[in-house]
Homo-oligomer: A and B are copies of this chain.
Amino acid sequence: MTQDQPTRLKAMRQMATQQAPTRQTTTRQMPAFVPCERCPLRRKAAFMQKDEKEVSFINGLKSAHLRFAAGSQLIQQGTEEPNLFTLFSGWAFRHKSLPDGNRQILSFLLPGDLAGLQATLQAEAEHGIDALTDVELCIFPRRKLLDVFEKAPALAYDLAWLGSREERMIDENLLSVGQRGAAERMVALILGLYRRAEHLDLVENQSFLFPLTKQHLADALGLSLVHASKTWSSLQRLNIFTYADRRLTLVNPRATERIASYFDRDWRVRPIL
């Protein structure tokens, strides 16, 4: 604004990331197609249990089951995306960038989360989605969407429900980025991911896989890389959590929630496509 040209050259990082594996260059191996009727994910307690008929209808929508390597661009900002997908395994994140290269991570995706709804109902994606770890996706072509609304109203309702859940999570992130200090913000993010992982039975002994780099943290929290790193260290010094082997262990989740003014959302079972 004041200084126009000498923009914060975080753009460099962006360039670097750019040449990271893109969709094309990605090893897109061919795992076995997992039919929804035998999907281990949807059997988890976190998800709504549907009757056979509905599950097989969903299976009819599913056009492929793909695997991508960590770092792959699953959806590219500014392109038209003909599919939506449910994350079958792994982590991913939605993000949006400014022309100067600054990137904001909008939300994280965990197994069972549906992605591309926004992009799908609109014409083209205004955000990108990248794989944070190796991932597997259940692909649904978006042209079948209208069918869903016409032939399976209950499913359509689920779709809308998932969209609204996603929006609530972004609301929370916006609240965080706008109103919490750096440390509180980071704790709130970690707690949110912890609770979601917990709900998917991904937590053992208050410890879970935490694949974010410092750069991801910074981009999600609206902090600089350096400050994110410092905040991270200070939280460890405060004995909020420990980190080893890509696994993060919360020392005292409930006490930590108070510190960050974190509030548990309602964790009712949710639909899964």
Name A residues whose Cβ lies closer than 8 Å to a Cβ of B.
1-2, 4, 94, 96, 98-100, 102-104, 106, 117-118, 121-123, 126-127, 145-146, 149-150, 153-154, 156-157, 159-161, 163-168, 170-175, 177-181, 183-184, 187, 219, 221-222, 259-261, 265-266
Contacts and interface: CB of A to CB of B under 8 A. Distances in A.
A266 B122 contact: yes
A94 B157 CA distance: 23
A2 to B, nearest CB: 7
Contact of A261 (B99, B181, B222): B99
Contacts of A154: 149
Contacts of A150: 153
Contacts of A126: 168, 171-172, 265
Given A153-B153, A164-B118, A1 B171 contact: no
B174 A104 contact: yes
Nearest to A2: B183
11 contacts: A1-B187, A99-B261, A100-B261, A117-B160, A117-B164, A121-B160, A126-B172, A149-B153, A167-B167, A170-B171, A173-B174
A178 B180 contact: no
Contact of A163 (B96, B127, B167): B167
Contacts of A117: 160, 164
Contacts of A181: 1-2
The copy count of this chain in the complex is 2
Contacts of A98: 175, 179-180, 261
Nearest to A124: B266
Contact of A177 (B94, B161, B174): B174
Nearest to A176: B104
A177 B164 CA distance: 21
The 6 closest A-B pairs by CB, nearest first: A178-B222, A1-B183, A149-B153, A102-B179, A121-B164, A104-B178
Given A98-B261, A167-B118, A106 B174 contact: yes
Contacts of A96: 171-172, 174-175
Contact of A167 (B123, B170, B178, B187): B170
Nearest to A127: B171
B118 A168 contact: yes
B153 A121 contact: no
Given A104-B178, A180-B98, A184-B1, A157 B167 contact: no
A181 B145 CA distance: 39
B1 A177 contact: no
